[in-house]
Amino acid sequence: GGYAAAEHLLAHCPGLTAIFAMSDLMAVGAIRAIQDHGLRVPQDIAVAGYDGIALGRYTVPRLTTIRQNTTVLAERAADILLRCIEENAPARHETVPFELVEGESI
């Protein structure tokens, strides 16, 4: 999906300078599409992802990403869900800690 989305952007946005993908896997696909078009990451187009998966450390260039604290995310989601089921508590919005992992793609 990231490859196809980047292909669309490259075809329709000639002044494109950066892509922020909704997942690291989509960012990896975008990087490949950019390179297949003879462009360089980050010199021509910067790319950042979201998730912080291990694969990002091994891409060329290394992926810049937002790493989620998946343990806290899972614990909070389970707690909220159980309270909704057991206590009929309303859903709520919470911010889970995150970290910017600076790679080489921006």
pTM: predicted TM-score of the whole model, two decimal places: 0.84
Average per-residue pLDDT for the chain: 95
* DSSP code at position 15: T
Asked if residue 42 has pLDDT above 90, the reply is yes
Residues 71-92: what's their mean pLDDT? 91
Residue 62's pLDDT band (cuts 50, 70, 90): very high
Nearest to 56 by CA among 90, 27, 76, 91: 27
Question: CB-based contacts of 24: which residues, under 8 Å, 6+ apart?
Answer: 49, 50, 51, 52, 53, 55, 56, 63, 65
User: What class has domain 2-68+97-101?
Assistant: alpha beta
pLDDT of residue 92: 85
Residue 9's pLDDT band (cuts 50, 70, 90): very high
pLDDT of residue 82: 94
Place of tokens 């998946």: 70
For the chain, the structural domain boundaries read 2-68+97-101
